[in-house]
Copies of this chain bind each other. A is one copy, B any other.
């Protein structure tokens, strides 16, 4: 099976042949939603340690083809920018997710195509089409090996994202079919990233490289840098080395008939998804009530909620992302559940600490993983009962366009409260009628 010919060629042919007119309107719209979400998470990530250090380091070597780093006044070469924008977008685990593979497709793909868009005169449809195709290729390559590939220790967003970045970049460069196979081969031999690094800055390296190396693969292919004819399914290729029993037909089945970007979901909160329905309840209640009067909180949810997140004692922002006690306490104190609620500082906040100990977790297998119920007891003895059958951001209750805009605005405000994001948001929603998107990324820098 591993020698089955033509998988890479089939993908290359599809990427080359697909036109803007082939993309249904709801897919175009979903792509814009992914980009709104991308700018939100990239703005949230652009001030973090990994981005700061990598930017300082890369800037020392950088020279030509300078483009935008989201949220930053510094400009850097297109390869470096692709790295930094991907790393920044993924650093908080606040990305979009292709649920069947757990790939975060936009973090590696968008930075590559945005960097190219800034260097050339490309239209909005050009950009959206390339982005949608990159997303599709990353997801399809991953579908053939999920979930075993991830279980083996591979950070699938990185290992498959590099193909998406190569595909999207190659589409913008108008590679022919042979060059596209080369681009995918160059991506294959640069595919890397280990889950062992999750929770550490080192995670950002493979995500950043996926965007950077995918972009570079396409640029090299355009210059005639050749590779093997079947880098994916060849006897010593990607699937042989990085997978156990790849389901190769899945990669190309029904190409162009459906779009994996439609199976992407967005996170309203930067924490474990099983906590999300709980936060929906708590934030809803908190809008009309002060935190001070709460004396007890009982959370009921699927057994996975307690198994993964029953952590009454945490000491870092990162641990707090998987503590339902912290998430509930921080949401009650601040009325929010954004980046600032999952920082080390918030974990040490005396008010949050005091409430944290009042949160009890109860397991109930009658709940699905996207459902939860919360009982809040106030000082007057009243018990407030809330429930959420389907968390915001889940398939059954996706984030609305307005929710995504709010997420972007909140991330931007956390970086620079005077930053007016309206031009960026407008530019994304009107991408399909834009004749030149070279200025898009620069709208993601506060002036």
Contact = CB atoms under 8 A, between A and B. Distances in A.
Interface of A: 49-50, 53-54, 56-57, 59-65, 77-80, 152-155, 158, 182, 185-186, 188-203, 205-206, 209, 213, 216-217, 219-220, 223-228, 230-231, 234-238, 240-242
A190 B158 CA distance: 10
Which of A63, A64, A188 gathers most chain B CB within 10 Å? A63
Contacts of A185: 196-197, 200, 202
A182 B197 CA distance: 10
Q: Which of A61, A217, A240, A242 has the most CB of B within 10 A?
A: A61
A211 B56 CA distance: 20
Contact of A200 (B195, B213, B227): B227
A152 B200 CA distance: 29
B227 A197 contact: yes
Given A188-B196, A196-B230, 9 more contacts: A50-B225, A153-B240, A189-B196, A190-B206, A191-B192, A192-B192, A197-B227, A200-B227, A202-B227
B194 A189 contact: yes
Please give me the 5 A-B residue pairs with the lowest Cβ-Cβ distance, nearest first: A63-B63, A202-B227, A153-B236, A61-B77, A153-B241
A78 B61 contact: yes
Contact of A64 (B62, B201, B209): B62
A196 to B, nearest CB: 4
A65 B57 contact: no
B65 A61 contact: yes
A63 B77 contact: yes
A200 B225 CA distance: 9
B57 A237 contact: no
Number of copies: 2
A190 B219 contact: no
A173 B230 CA distance: 40
Contacts of A155: 189
A228 B196 contact: yes
B64 A216 contact: no
A105 B231 CA distance: 25
Contact of A54 (B60, B196, B225): B225
B196 A237 contact: yes
A325 to B, nearest CB: 26
A234 B64 contact: no
Nearest to A206: B189
Contacts of A237: 153, 194, 196
A192 B190 contact: yes
Among A56, A194, A200, A231, residue most surrounded by chain B Cβ atoms (within 10 Å): A194
Nearest to A217: B205
B152 A240 contact: yes
A201 B189 contact: no
A210 to B, nearest CB: 11
Nearest to A159: B192
A50 B224 CA distance: 9
B60 A64 contact: yes
Contacts of A198: 236
B190 A223 contact: no
Contact of A236 (B194, B219, B224, B238): B194
A231 B190 contact: no
A53 B225 contact: yes
Given A64-B62, A196-B237, A224 B53 contact: yes
Contacts of A63: 61-64, 77
Given A60-B64, A153-B240, A216-B57, A202 B223 contact: no
A230 B197 CA distance: 9
A120 to B, nearest CB: 13
